[in-house]
């Protein structure tokens, strides 16, 4: 009898310790699955013998948001300090393949306190954090609502590897962040490194944000283990590429309506060969209206300019007009169905190169247009867990 009592006491004590441990730490599995049918016209085939353009019809993944699964967790260390981590993997529902390797979207560990959060690993920069949520691409519009060629990464096409990041807490509506991504290459500190800063303000229906990101020596060939990996920047392909992206924006919500406006500029230096540079200016306005708690309608317009500079000689500007419409119906809190259309029209004058339309797509399902125009229609379903 005594033995049974002792065993019961030990079991009770062990259970109490387990309960206390679980109360102080947690791990959460989460994810998002997004798939649908997509049509795109005027896709350049690149074939010298066959047709130079063709229509794309296919089942695509990551139409509103990239499909993903991840683990996130925290441990209470006492005194307001917590240890945190996140591991997030992107994948394609269409073929089951993972994107950018295992946990290629985010993979970091760090500490969180009353002051802010300090993390180390693969993370998003301040442009994604502060300007993305003010754009259609970074919120309800998703992948295809990004600006021409996805030049400013508002649809979060890439994250920064080898990075240290500080994200402040909210102080009376204000917050700020800073990030530095190491090249991780001996003897070449600046070869494929990145850094970023940003700040924002949120007060009731108002949101304001500004961000800056710079990648130096972006070259996935000579340093594939640097801060920027893969063909993720516009025009990447030669050594010592550099991209600087910065901008500002705001949004306002009134009743069932939300309005947003954002400006970004992306400057690419030596992106094709030494002495060549290109500048994108993007001006976006967007709006979304909740017709019912389940049905939302959204529209966005972006005007983009692209200007080239070769060996000190500037060309005239190529111009792009992009229109996007979307209807999204929530079947439940976690599942929704959508249909959307995006049209991009380019033009050029004088000595500017021909304006080639290129609807942004972080899923890599199709390429740029063979002409100055491209239209996309997509319908699909998204489920969160």
Complete DSSP assignment for 168-198: E--BTTEEEEEEEE----TT-TTTTEEEEEE
> Is there a contact between 233 and 218 (Cβ–Cβ < 8 Å)?
yes
Phi, psi at residue 5, to the nearest 5°? Answer: -65, -45
Please enumerate in sequence order all residues whose Cβ is within 8 A of that of 153, keeping only pairs 6 or more positions apart, or say none: 125, 127, 128, 213, 245
Query: Which range is least confidently modeled, 234-243, 266-275, 358-367?
Result: 234-243
For residue 196, CA distances in Å to 124, 169, 215, 227 come to 10, 17, 9, 12
| Residue 299 confidence (pLDDT) | 98
% of the chain with per-residue pLDDT over 90: 67
H-only helix segments in the chain: 2-24, 126-130
| Residue 11 confidence (pLDDT) | 45
| Residue 219 confidence (pLDDT) | 62
pLDDT tens, position by position, 1-46: 444 544 444 344 444 434 444 447 899 999 999 999 999 999 998 7
> Is there a contact between 194 and 183 (Cβ–Cβ < 8 Å)?
no
> Is there a contact between 343 and 299 (Cβ–Cβ < 8 Å)?
no
Query: Which range is least confidently modeled, 102-106, 128-132, 256-260?
Result: 102-106
The residue-averaged pLDDT of 187-204 equals 92
Report the sign of the C-alpha dihedral through residues 68, 63, 324, 347, in that order.
Answer: positive
What is the CA 349 to chain-centroid distance, rounded?
Answer: 32
Question: Does the pLDDT of residue 262 top 60, yes or no?
Answer: yes
The residue-averaged pLDDT of 259-267 equals 96
The single-letter DSSP state of residue 113 is -
What is the CA 139 to chain-centroid distance, rounded?
Answer: 10
| Residue 271 confidence (pLDDT) | 55
Report the sign of the C-alpha dihedral through residues 153, 159, 161, 164, in that order.
Answer: positive
Q: Which helix (H) or strand (E) is 67 found in, with range?
A: none
Q: State how far the Cα of 330 lies from the Cα of 170, in Å rounded to an integer.
A: 31
| Residue 48 confidence (pLDDT) | 56
- For the chain, which residues make up each domain, given as ranges? 26-384
Question: Does the pLDDT of residue 321 top 80, yes or no?
Answer: yes
Please enumerate in sequence order all residues whose Cβ is within 8 A of that of 350, keeping only pairs 6 or more positions apart, or say none: 315, 316
| Residue 45 confidence (pLDDT) | 86
For residue 83, CA distances in Å to 121, 139, 167, 334 come to 14, 28, 14, 28
> Is there a contact between 123 and 108 (Cβ–Cβ < 8 Å)?
yes
Q: For residues 378, 254, 150 and 297, what is the CA-based torsion angle, rounded to 10 degrees?
A: 10
Question: Does the pLDDT of residue 304 top 70, yes or no?
Answer: yes
Mean pLDDT for the chain? 87
| Residue 230 confidence (pLDDT) | 55
What is the CA 372 to chain-centroid distance, rounded?
Answer: 25
CATH superfamily of 26-384: Porin (2.40.160.10)
């Amino acid at each position: 009898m005594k033995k049974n009592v002792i065993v019961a006491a030990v079991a009770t004590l062990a259970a109490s310790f387990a309960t206390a441990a679980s109360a102080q730490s947690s791990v959460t599995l989460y994810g998002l699955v997004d798939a649908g049918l997509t049509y795109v016209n005027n896709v350049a085939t690149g074939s010298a013998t066959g047709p130079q353009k063709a229509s794309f019809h296919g089942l695509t993944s990551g139409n509103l948001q990239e499909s993903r699964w991840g683990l996130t967790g925290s441990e209470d260390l006492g005194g307001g300090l917590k240890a945190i981590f996140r591991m997030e993997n992107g994948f394609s529902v269409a073929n089951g393949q993972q994107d950018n390797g295992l946990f290629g979207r985010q993979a970091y560990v760090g500490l969180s306190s009353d002051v802010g959060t300090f993390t180390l690993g693969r993370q998003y920069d301040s442009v994604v954090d502060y300007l993305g949520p003010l754009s259609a691409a970074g919120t309800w519009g998703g992948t295809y609502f990004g600006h021409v060629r996805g030049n400013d990464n508002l649809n979060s096409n890439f994250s920064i590897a080898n990075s240290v990041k500080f994200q402040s807490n909210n102080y009376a509506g204000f917050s700020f962040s800073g990030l530095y991504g190491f090249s991780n290459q001996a003897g070449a500190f600046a070869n494929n490194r990145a850094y970023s800063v940003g700040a924002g303000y949120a007060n009731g229906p108002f949101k304001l944000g500004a961000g800056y990101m710079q990648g130096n020596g972006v070259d996935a060939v000579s340093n594939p283990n640097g801060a920027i990996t893969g063909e993720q920047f516009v025009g990447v392909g030669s050594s010592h590429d550099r991209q600087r992206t910065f901008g500002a924006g705001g949004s306002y919500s009134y009743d069932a309506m939300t309005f947003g406006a954002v400006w970004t500029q992306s400057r690419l230096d030596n992106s094709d060969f030494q002495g060549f540079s290109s500048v994108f200016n993007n001006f976006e306005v967007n709006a979304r209206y909740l017709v019912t708690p389940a049905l939302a309608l959204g529209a966005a317009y972006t005007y983009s300019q692209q200007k080239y500079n070769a060996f000190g000689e500037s060309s005239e500007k190529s111009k792009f007009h992009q229109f996007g419409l979307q209807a999204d119906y929530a079947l439940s809190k976690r599942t929704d169905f959508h249909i959307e259309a995006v049209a991009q029209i380019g033009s050029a004058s004088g000595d500017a190169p021909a304006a080639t339309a290129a609807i942004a797509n972080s899923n890599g399902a199709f390429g740029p247009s063979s002409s100055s125009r491209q239209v996309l229609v997509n319908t699909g379903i998204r489920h969160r867990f």
